[in-house]
Amino acid sequence: MAIRTLDDLDAADAAVGVRVDINSPLAEDGTLADDARLRAHVDTLDELLDRGARVAVLAHQGRPGGDEFARLEPHADRLDELLDNPVSYCDATFSAEARDAVDALDSGTAVLLENTRFYSEEYMEFPADRAAETFLVARLAPVLDAFVNDAFAAAHRSQPSLVGFPELLPSYAGRVMETELDVLGAIEETPTPRTYVVGGAKVPDSVTVVEHALANDLADHVLVTGVVANVFLTAAGVDIGHTSTEFVHDRGYETEIERADDLLYEYGNHIHVPQDVAVERDGERVELGVEELPPGRDEPVQDVGSDTVDAYADILSETGTAVLNGPAGVFEEEAFAAGTRGIFEAATEAEYTIVGGGDTAAAIRQFGLSGFEHVSTGGGAALRLLTGESLPAVEALR
C-alpha cells in the first residue's frame, strides 16, 4: 500500500498533529546549540500552515535521566523565528491544557506541545494497535483531524507518538519523511559504480550495511573506516594494538570480527581496508603503515592515515554514487579530523552522494562541506533502510 503524502491532505482549517524530530544538542544554559534538525522540518510545517492548517507539533528532546532531557520552549521560540507563521508553546502534551491549546489555534498557526518523553509510556515501544490505546494518543487524537509523521530520524522506533496516531486518524508522510524514503529506499536506482564508505562506532549495524550492500549487488566498493575498520583489520589478521583491541572486545564485538572475516572471504575484492592509521604519540599525530603495526600499548587508533585517504579518494573519483555512513576517526579533535575531512571531500566528486547518520552529518557541518545530493536526518533509521529493514513508523503509515 502506498503511503499518502501532504499532496493527499486537505489541510485548510484542519487540526493536524505533526510529529517531528527536533532532538538537538543543548548548550549549558539550556538553549539550542544547533538548530539543524529544526530547519529540516521548515518546509513541511510552513506548507501546512500556508495551506491554512491548525498545527499541533509533537516532538521529544533527550532521554530520561540524561543531561539533554529538557523542555521544548527553546525549540518553540526558534521555530517561531524560522517559520513564516506564528508558533506558540504549551507546557503540556495531551492533558486538557494541551487539548484546549489545539482547539484554540487559528488557521495558519501552530503550537509546539511539551516533550513527549516526559510521559513514561512514550519511552516504551508498542505494536501500533496498543500504542493507539496509550494516554498520549487516546487523549490527543480526538482534537485532531489528521496526523503527519515527518520524524524520519525516529522512524525505527515503535513509540506511541510515532505509530499510534495512524490507527485512529488519516495519516500522511511529511516532506522530510517522503524525501528520505524516496532517496534511501531507491539506492538500486542511483548511478553506478556505487561506493559505500562505512565507519563510525556502531559496528553491528555497520557490518550489516556492508553485508546487505554486497549481497544485494548494491555496492561495487566498500571502504571501511573508524572502529568498523579496526574490526575488519583485526579479522584480516592485523594487530591494531592493545588499546584498540581492548575497546573492540569490551564492546562484545567478537561476533562482528567473525562476520567481517566471512565478508572478507566472500567479497574481499570489493572491501577496502586502511593502508595506514593515525595514533597520538607524545601529543602529536603519528601515521603508521599497516605493516608497522601494532602501535604502542597506550596508542589507540584515532584516524586513518593519508595514504588511505589518497587510495579511497582514487576510488571515489570514479564513483557514480557514494554513500557515506560514519566518520573515519575522532573528527572532533583537529589532529584526527584529516581522515574524515579528506574522504568526505573526495566523496563530493562522485556523481551522486548520499549522507546517512547523525555523526556523518555533524562532521559535514563542522567542516563546512557542501556538494552532497542528500543529507539524511536519520542515523539508526537510515541504517535500517540501507540494510533493507522496515521501519515501524513507516509501516504504521501504510
Residue pLDDT, tens place only, 303-322: 999 999 999 999 999 999 99
Q: Which long-range contacts (CB under 8 A, 24 or more apart) does 100-108 make?
A: 101/56, 102/15, 102/54, 102/56, 102/140, 102/143, 102/144, 103/15, 103/143, 105/15, 105/54, 105/55, 105/56, 106/54, 107/12, 107/13, 107/52, 107/53, 107/54, 108/49, 108/50, 108/52, 108/53, 108/54
pLDDT in tens, 98-119: 999 999 999 999 999 999 999 9
- What share of the chain in percent tops pLDDT 70? 100
Cell 593519508 found at: 306
**Longest Cα separation, the chain:** 69
State the pLDDT at residue 67.
87
136 pLDDT band, cuts 50/70/90, is very high
Position 34 pLDDT exceeds 90: no
pLDDT higher than 80, residue 357:
no
The rounded percent of the chain whose pLDDT value lies above 90 is 87
Least confidently predicted of 26-35, 100-109, 151-160: 26-35
- Is pLDDT above 70 for 262? yes
The answer to whether residue 386 scores a pLDDT higher than 90 is: no
Strands 146-149 and 303-304, bridge-based pairing:
unpaired
Per-residue pLDDT, 1: 57
Band of the pLDDT at 181, cuts 50, 70, 90? Answer: very high
In contact, 277 and 288? CB cutoff 8 Å: yes
| Predicted local confidence at residue 396, as pLDDT | 96
pLDDT, tens digit, 9 for 90 and up, residues 193-227: 999 999 988 899 899 999 999 999 999 999 999 99
Count of alpha carbons within 13 angstroms of residue 72, beta-carbon side: 29
Do residues 117 and 123 touch, judged by C-beta distance below 8 A? yes
pTM, full prediction: 0.86
